[in-house]
Structure 1
Amino acid sequence: MRFVKNIENDYCKAELYQFNNKYIIKFEAGMLEQIYKVSEFDVSGEEDIEEMMGDGFLRKVVERFKDMENDFDAIIDSVD
């Protein structure tokens, strides 16, 4: 897997990779991760990926992180 670049944003760590004819977009917030894969044949290049990562999409990523954290906290609390 080849690291391409960081995707700048104010919400979380975001990185772009390239592997097996796919772009891999990896978001990290604390102990949680979200990964999205896009075929190289569906976009014309890295610029298209960055365009896809607009504020609306990034807000949804952050919302998912919050939901993931709440779900995981509930599971941990049920074990105690």
Structure 2
Amino acid sequence: MRFVQDIPHPQFRIGLYAWNSKYIVKIEAGPYEQTYKVSELDVADLNDVLTMLDGPFLDTVTQRFQAMDTDWQATGERNETFL
């Protein structure tokens, strides 16, 4: 996997990679990560991928991270693994 660039964001760590004719967008928040793969054939160029990372998309990413944390905390409590 080839690193292409970091995408600045105040809340997340966003990295853009290229691998197997796909752009891979990795978005990290604390211990959680979301990964999106886009075929190079589905976009005209790299700028299209960057354009897709708009406000409404990142708002949904935020909600998904919150849901991931809720799910993780709930399983820890159910299984009594968190102190």
For this structure pair, what is the TM-score category when the shorter chain's length is used for normalisation?
over 0.9
- Is 2:34 the partner of 1:37? no
Matched to 1:70, the amino acid is T
Q: Matches of 2:54 and 2:8 in 1, distance apart?
A: 11
Matched to 1:38, the amino acid is V
Match in the other structure for 2:77: 77
Bigger CA radius of gyration:
2
Deviating beyond 4 angstroms after TM superposition, the runs of 4 or more aligned structure 1 residues are: none
Percent of aligned pairs with the same amino acid: 43
Matched to 1:35, the amino acid is T
- Provide TM-score, normalisation by structure 2: 0.93
| Greater relative CO (CA pairs within 8 A, separation 6+) | 1
- 1:1-80 aligned at under 5 Å gives the runs 1-80=1-80
Matched to 2:51, the amino acid is E
Q: Matches of 2:45 and 2:15 in 1, distance apart?
A: 15
* Superposition RMSD in Å: 0.7
- Provide TM-score, normalisation by structure 1: 0.96
